[in-house]
Amino acid sequence: MKPLNPDPWDPRTIRRLHLQLSERTPIQCSVSRHARARSGFFDMHYGLELGIVLSGRMRRFHRDRQYQVGPGQVWMCGMWEPHGFDIAKPVCEVVVFVIWPPTLAALKFPEAPALSWIGPFTVPSRDRPQTAPTDRKALITLGRKVVRLMPADTEIKHLQLRLLLLEILLVLASKWTRPTRLADLGADAYARINRALNLVFENRRMITGQEAARACGMGRNTFTHVFKSLMGIHFPDFALRYRLNAAAGELLATDEPVKAVARNWGFTDSSHLHRCFQTHYGCSPGQYRKRKNFG
C-alpha cells in the first residue's frame, strides 16, 4: 500500500495550512463527501486533527504508518505532523475536527485526573487509539450528529460540537491502553506538566525550559524527558509553535506592522519571526498576510 505521490514527504510539496484557530474559535469541523477516487493529498497544520469515516474507505499515510480506515474508524494527527490520504472506496464521507491544541492540553477533570485529552494525539501514529469493532456504530452515530449540526451557525452549535468531540474521545479512550513508557511516568505527570502549558498559554513572551521546569517542580533534565514523553514534542518547540500560531492569527486579523506582531509575541525582531515563518509556513510573514489562507 503506497501513496501515489512519488515523494509525498518532500517539505516543498506538503501543503502548510493555517486554519485560524484561537481561544474564541478552538474547533473547526467539516464534512467532506468524496464521490470518486482521489490520491496524493498531503498537508500539515498546527491544529490537532481527528477524523471519522462515515461511509466508504480511505488510506491514511503517516511517516511511521500506512493503514486503511472504513466506517466507524478514526484517524488522528498531531501538531505540524505531515499526513496524507487516498480515497480507496467512494463514496467516502468523513467528519473532520481540527482542534486548537490548548483546548485539549489544558483540559482536566477532577474525576479523572490522569486522563490526558491531548495524549492520544502526541504518541506515534501506531500507538494511537483504534476503534474497537463494538464501538464503530456508536462513532458513526456521533459523526451523523455532527453532520446534522453543520448547517447551523450559532454559539450553541459550537458548544455542541465541543461536547460531541469530547464524547468521541471518551469512546476511544475507554479501550485505549497508554504506552508503557507513559504509564511509568506516574498518574500525576500530566497535572504537573499542565503548569508548564498554562505558563505558555498565559504569556506572550518566550518561556525558557528552565522556567517551565521550575514551574513544574522538576529538574531541567527530568522535565525535558517527561514533557517530550507526554506531549510528543520538546518544550521549546511546543512553546514556539504556540506563539507562532498566535502571531499568524494576528497577521490575518490586524494591520499591525510585522515588527509589532513579532514584538507582541516574544520574537527577538522581525527577522526572527521571518525565519520561523519560512520554516513552518514556507513563506515570509508579509507573503503569508497577502495569501490570507493556504487552504
User: Tell me, what CATH number does 186's domain have?
Assistant: 1.10.10.60
Q: Within a domain: residue 2? A: no
Same-domain status, 40 and 154:
yes
Query: pTM for the full model?
Result: 0.75
Same-domain status, 149 and 262:
no
| Chosen domain end from 178, 193, 213 | 178
Q: Within a domain: residue 133? A: yes
Q: Within a domain: residue 9? A: no
User: What total of structural domains would you count in the chain?
Assistant: 2
Same-domain status, 173 and 191:
no
Question: What pLDDT does 14 receive?
Answer: 67
Q: pLDDT per position in the chain (295 positions), as tens?
A: 444 444 566 655 667 676 778 778 899 999 999 998 877 678 888 889 999 999 999 999 988 889 999 999 999 998 878 899 999 999 999 999 999 888 887 788 888 877 778 888 888 888 899 899 999 999 999 999 999 999 988 889 989 999 999 999 999 988 887 776 665 666 567 667 878 888 888 888 888 999 999 998 889 998 998 888 777 788 998 888 888 888 888 888 888 899 999 999 999 888 999 988 888 777 888 888 886 544 4
Q: How far apart, in Å, are the Cα atoms of 254 and each of 239, 265, 272, 285? A: 22, 14, 20, 13
Same-domain status, 209 and 138:
no
User: What residues make up the domain containing 35?
Assistant: 15-178
| Chosen domain end from 140, 158, 178 | 178
Same-domain status, 225 and 259:
yes
> Which residue bears the cell 464521490?
35
Same-domain status, 144 and 215:
no
Q: Is-contact 85 41, C-beta < 8 A? A: yes
Same-domain status, 204 and 134:
no
Q: Is-contact 56 92, C-beta < 8 A? A: yes
